[in-house]
Amino acid sequence: MAWAPDRPAARGPATGRGAATGRGEAAGATALEVLRALESGPRGLVEAEADARLARHGENVFPGRRPDPWPRRFARSLRDPFTAVLLSLGLVSAALAAWGTACVIAVLVTVSCVLRATGEHRADRSAAALRELVATTATVRRRPAEPDAPVTRELPVEQLVPGDVVLLAPGDLVPADLRLLRTTGLTVHEAALTGESAPVTKDTAGDLCLQGSSVVSGSATGVVVATGADTVLSGALPRNPGPRLPGPFDRSVNGIAWTLVRFMLLTAPLVLVASALLRGRGLETLPFAVAVAVGLTPEMLPVVVTTALARGAALLARGGEVIVRRLPALHDLGAVDVLCVDKTGTLTQDRPVFDRAVDAEGRDDPAVLHWAAVAALWTLHLAELPAPDALDEALLDADEERGGGADGVEGVAALPCGPGRRIASALVRVPGGYEPGSGYEPDGPEPVLPGNVRTLTGSRGRRPAATYVLVVKGAAEDVLERCTRVADGTGSPGAGRTLGPADRARLAARADALAESGLRVLAVAVAERPASAGPYAPEDERELTLAGFVGLRDALAPTAAEALTVLADRGVAVKVLTGDHPGTAARACRELGLDPGEPLTAARIDAAGDAELALLAARTTVFARCAPEHKARVVRALRTAGSTTGFLGDGVNDLAALHAADVGICPRDGVPVAREAADVVLASKDLTALGRAVVTGRRSTGHIAAYLRITLSSNLGNVIAMLTAGLLLPFLPMLPAQVLVQNLCFDAAQLSLAYDRPAATVHERPAVLRPRALFRFMTAFGLINAAADLATFAVLALTLRSAGSTGGQAAFHAGWFTENLLTQALVMLLLRAGRDAAERRAPLPVRLATTGLAVVGLLLPLSPLGPPLGMTPLPPLYYALMTVVLTLYGTALAVARARYAKGPAAQLPGRR
Ligand SMILES: Nc1ncnc2c1ncn2[C@@H]1O[C@H](COP(=O)(O)OP(=O)(O)OP(=O)(O)O)[C@@H](O)[C@H]1O
Ligand SMILES: [Mg+2]
């Protein structure tokens, strides 16, 4: 039976009963006043009233989440480095009254901005539609009608209204501004609001808990005081979140962009100086210098990048499998070579089932289970968690099945576990205490089990005095270090013999053995406490008596094994970072077909310096007993060691690591903060979707790399040719209008590359854009391209002279224009992705685009548009000779390409 959130109230004390820490009640009056002011009550709003309020106050949507309006989107695309350079070149041209060039630039900038803004808009829209799939919800308490009992249910956060009573649990994002009514060990993260990275304790009813913070540990009930645009966060913060540390995508693309920008800024002065020295020209060459710099710009890069990534994201989205929340993360996912995953909830289902309870000697002992269940029950009641922890739920279900029940035992205080705290404890009051040797005999026929808590509960006992018992359960190491005694089988919490070092070693070995059999292990310890013990704190969890161990079995996630195999085949190394026992983790890995090697535990991580950890982390597969900061440190160490590191995790304890990773990934069932922190959300239960997402990321990177390879090498070739011709000829080798038409044709054709088939290698290796390899490629192929252009110039000189042509300039322009478009088409076909012959055949969109390019190149100068663009038809001899040049060029390209492919794979930009 499922442990429904409302169950504690049904079988436990009234919910108004003292908060565990005893502090929740003090400010009760304030809480009531707040509720009254909001015309609400502790039992929540009536649904009809909530609907009315929703109509009045509007949806609880954070204004920053709304998509940017068009003008802002357009303005933002102007900030891109290429666009900025183009714009400044345009201003220079305008200042010199070189209107032709200025117009060319204006058109290029506009086209690229419009395309980019449209691309981003489309990408945003599909991402938003997908986000709905994993929409965040809040746990509210509402009543169907006035007299009804309150129902606790999940509600989309947009529908929250002032006056709603909300329950908070670890991992929740605070959904609106709340005034706290009750708190239990509540700590929240307010980094988004205050920049303070340490969790803040909120232990007073009446405290404000603001939207934008998230619950780290503990629980609370609060009433919504402000929603939507009225929240403090909406009013006080700038709309866009703070800068993110650059990831692999930003580093590569920005690296390439800025190198090119520097190169372009150098070109213009270089042209000026050269033409002054060689031809004695002055400033009148400036428009030409500007045109050369424009020729180098891959102005469509932002458009191609957005298109490639958005297309990849949309493909993943269409399958309803993976949601990419930040487009560049798709590239980064393709670049990931180490993926860290947490175990519980990701590799396993986090639906533990009780397996066995044993005493310190390893004998089956139901009393140990019962003590654990008592602790679970009272942690649950007193901490008022909206949903019970999976381990606690399993303990309660198992105990209930075995006829357990907390008859008469009453909780006094509880301290739940949380990130970095691996034990949970409850202080309970047992009416009619038990003293060893008191001669107490239970009524009825049931057998007296040694240590059975039933002998303690005393609901039917004869002694009226109450005993306070502290029950602690949790990670074996953490519980054992708080124990001084071990139970002797009499069942008294206070009894037992003193623990010696040999006992400790034996007990630790027993826990290890249970863990290595694949169980999740909790040690259970108890201690009698005087009734007058004041406020109860973690320091009181000591001098305990170890009762025994509980083992629970957590089934593996059904698709985990297959997903790990797929990732390994894709060249991604998987590492497991868990808060659990090294034995349990290693066993799970083995069952999933992953060799766990020697697990590294948190103590060893703490002992290692950053440099040592980088080395250790690289060769370790399982990291166990990790607190959140250990997970984050390991991820950072792996990044330092040079890996592009992804992190897949679902819990509050994974948050720091999700932030630290190059790509944070969260499964669909993850807690809201984890989903919000992740760049990629797996929308389906199927972990193998991750392998597909990785391949899609690599494809997108492949498209971007192909665009850069083709554009940069042919642009460089053109610039070299343009410079040479500019210095040799008495006229401009290309008119501004021609530059424009040519660039637009190139750009339009290249958009088809987003439809290209991926190279086979995307299945084998992580893909990154590597600026260095790219520039080497650009130089080699740019020189070949320049050689073809120079050969064309020679052919033009020859044919024009022999034909005795008079329109020298126009014919030259026409000849070069035709050759340029044809070489571009060739380059597109020969330098696209793919390596072997089978992959050579381009898909239809690419074939159409290249054919179109060739047709325009051949026919435009002959068409009526030719003369207005400054071009005339050419003699047939030119075409014959150009065919020879193109054949030679194509052969040279193919040979060079094959040499590149044969060399170490690392030479190919876009691969690793
Ligand atoms: N409800 C609980 N009561 C007592 N101890 C608990 C409880 N929940 C967790 N623990 C202890 O804390 C340890 C760490 O838990 P944590 O949530 O950090 O990681 P995990 O869920 O085991 O693994 P992962 O990091 O892979 O998700 C657990 O292995 C267990 O020993
Ligand atoms: Mg987990």
* Residue nearest ligand 1's atom 15 by CA: 579
Give the residue, by CA position, lying nearest to ligand 1 atom 21: 344
Atom 12, ligand 1: residue with shortest CA distance: 422
Dist CA 173 CA 157 (whole Å): 10
Predicted confidence (pLDDT) at residue 807 exceeds the cutoff of 80: no
Ligand 1 site, residue 719, Cβ cutoff 6 A: no
In a domain, 79, yes or no: no
On whether both 777 and 888 belong to a single domain, the answer is yes
Q: Are residues 483 and 394 in the same domain?
A: yes
Nearest protein Cα to ligand 1, atom 30 = 475
Which region among 157-166, 378-387, 495-504, 607-616 has the lowest average model confidence (pLDDT)? 378-387
- 342 Cβ closer than 6 Å to some ligand 1 atom: yes
- Characterize the bridge pairing of strands 177-189 and 208-209: antiparallel
167 and 296 belong to one structural domain: no
Residue range 677-717, pLDDT digits in tens = 889 988 877 889 999 999 999 988 988 888 888 888 888 89
Count other Cβ atoms within 10 Å, centred on residue 101. Answer: 25
pLDDT of residue 239: 41
- Mean pLDDT taken over the chain: 82
Residue 19 confidence (pLDDT):
31
Look at residue 378 and tell me if it is in a domain: yes
Q: How many domains does the chain have?
A: 4
* 473 and 537 fall within a common domain: yes
Q: What is the pLDDT of residues 726-752, one digit of tens each?
A: 878 877 788 877 877 888 888 888 888
Tokens 């991992």, located at residue: 171
How far apart CA 495 and CA 487 sit, in angstroms, is 6
Q: Per residue in 842-893, pLDDT tens?
A: 888 889 999 999 999 999 999 998 888 888 888 888 899 999 999 999 999 8
For residue 401, give the CATH number of its domain: 3.40.1110.10
Instruction: Point out the residues that are catalytic.
Output: 342
Please, which contacts does 201-207 make with residues 24 or more away whose CB atoms are closer than 8 Å? 203/21, 203/23, 204/23, 204/26, 204/27, 204/180, 205/24, 205/25, 205/26, 205/27, 205/28, 205/30, 205/31, 205/180, 205/181, 206/27, 206/30, 206/31, 206/34, 206/179, 206/180, 207/179, 207/180, 207/183
Between 421 and 762, the more confident residue is 421
744 and 835 inside one domain:
yes
Residue 441 confidence (pLDDT): 34
Ligand 1 centre from 338 Cα, in Å?
24
What local confidence, expressed as pLDDT, does residue 132 receive? 62
655 lines ligand 1 (CB under 6 A): no
Q: Is 747 in the pocket of ligand 1 (CB under 6 A)?
A: no
Does 276 fall in a domain?
Answer: yes
Residue 729 lies in a domain: yes
For residue range 645-688, what is the model confidence (pLDDT) as tens digits? 999 998 888 988 999 999 999 988 888 788 888 899 888 778 89
Residue type for position 514:
L
Cα distance between residue 471 and residue 452, in whole Å: 14
Which of 380, 621, 653 most suits a substitution to test ligand 1, by most atoms within 8 Å of the C-beta?
653
Domain hosting residue 678, numbered range: 322-349+557-685
Say what the pTM is: 0.80
Read off the pLDDT of each residue in 417-434 and give the average, rounded to a whole number: 82
Digit-coded pLDDT (tens) for 19-69: 333 323 334 457 778 888 889 998 999 999 999 999 998 888 765 455 667
Centroid of ligand 2 to alpha carbon of 910 (angstroms): 34
Among 553, 573, 606, give the residue marking a domain's end.
553
pLDDT of residue 235: 65
Comparing C-alpha atoms, which of 425, 429, 433, 426 is closest to residue 455? 433
Give me the pLDDT at residue 371, please: 93
- CATH number at 589 reads 3.40.50.1000
Cα of 630 from ligand 2 centre, angstroms: 14
Asked if residue 504 and residue 370 are part of one domain, the reply reads yes
Please, which pLDDT band fits residue 465 given cuts at 50, 70 and 90?
A: low
Nearest to 817 by CA among 863, 848, 771: 863
For range 145-156, the mean pLDDT? 91
Size of the chain in residues: 912
**Using 50, 70 and 90 to split pLDDT, how confident is the model at 255?**
confident
pLDDT at 594: 94
* Nearest ligand 1 atom, CA 649: 27
Distance in Å, CA 273 to ligand 1 centroid: 70
Of 179, 202, 236, at which residue does a domain stop?
Answer: 236
* CB of 653 sitting under 6 A from ligand 1: yes
pLDDT value, residue 633: 95
Q: Which of 685, 720, 741 is the last residue of a domain?
A: 685
Same domain, 809 and 901: yes
* DSSP track, 857-870: HHHGGGSTTTGGGT
Cβ of 424 less than 6 Å from ligand 1: yes
582/600 same-domain check:
yes
Per residue in 368-388, pLDDT (tens digit) is 999 999 999 988 888 777 677
Q: Is residue 74 part of a domain?
A: no
User: CA 90 → CA 299, 693, 783, distances in Å?
Assistant: 14, 41, 28
User: What ranges in 667-770 are assigned the alpha helix state H?
Assistant: 672-677, 689-728, 736-750
Tell me: do 749 and 811 sit in the same domain.
yes
pLDDT of residue 284: 75
578 C-beta closer than 6 A to ligand 1: yes
Q: What is the pLDDT of residue 134?
A: 55
Residue 316 lies in a domain: no
User: What proportion of the chain, given as a percentage, has pLDDT over 90?
Assistant: 37
Q: What is the pLDDT of residues 539-592, one digit of tens each?
A: 889 899 999 999 999 999 999 999 999 999 999 999 999 999 999 999 999 999
Give the residue, out of 417, 552, 648, 650, with the most ligand 1 atoms within 8 A of its beta carbon, to mutate for a pocket test. Answer: 417
User: Can you tell me which residue has the tokens 């590149």?
Assistant: 900
Per-residue pLDDT averaged across 229-238, rounded? 67
Tell me the C-alpha distance between 288 and 726, whole Å.
Answer: 8
Establish whether residue 511 lines the binding site of ligand 1, counting it when its CB lies within 6 angstroms of any ligand atom: no
Closest ligand to residue 475's CA: 1
Say if 314 falls within a structural domain: no
Ligand 2 center from residue 387 Cα (angstroms): 16
- The answer to whether the CB of 630 is under 6 A from ligand 1 is no
The verdict on 805 and 671 lying in the same domain is no
SS (H, E, C) 62-114: CHHHCCCCHHHHHHHHCCCHHHHHHHHHHHHHHHCCCHHHHHHHHHHHHHHHH
Between the CA of 684 and the centroid of ligand 2 the distance, in Å, is: 17
Higher-confidence residue of 724 and 562: namely 562
Confidence label for 903 from pLDDT (cuts 50, 70 and 90): low
pLDDT at 908: 46
Q: Own/partner pairs for 505-508, CB < 8 Å, 24+ apart? A: 507/360, 507/476, 507/480, 507/546, 508/476, 508/477, 508/480
For residues 542 and 608, membership in a common domain is answered with: no
Is residue 241 situated within a structural domain? no
**pLDDT category of residue 241 using cuts at 50, 70 and 90:** very low
3-state secondary structure of 151: strand
| Same-domain check for residues 823 and 704 | yes
Average pLDDT rounded to a whole number, residues 407-434: 82
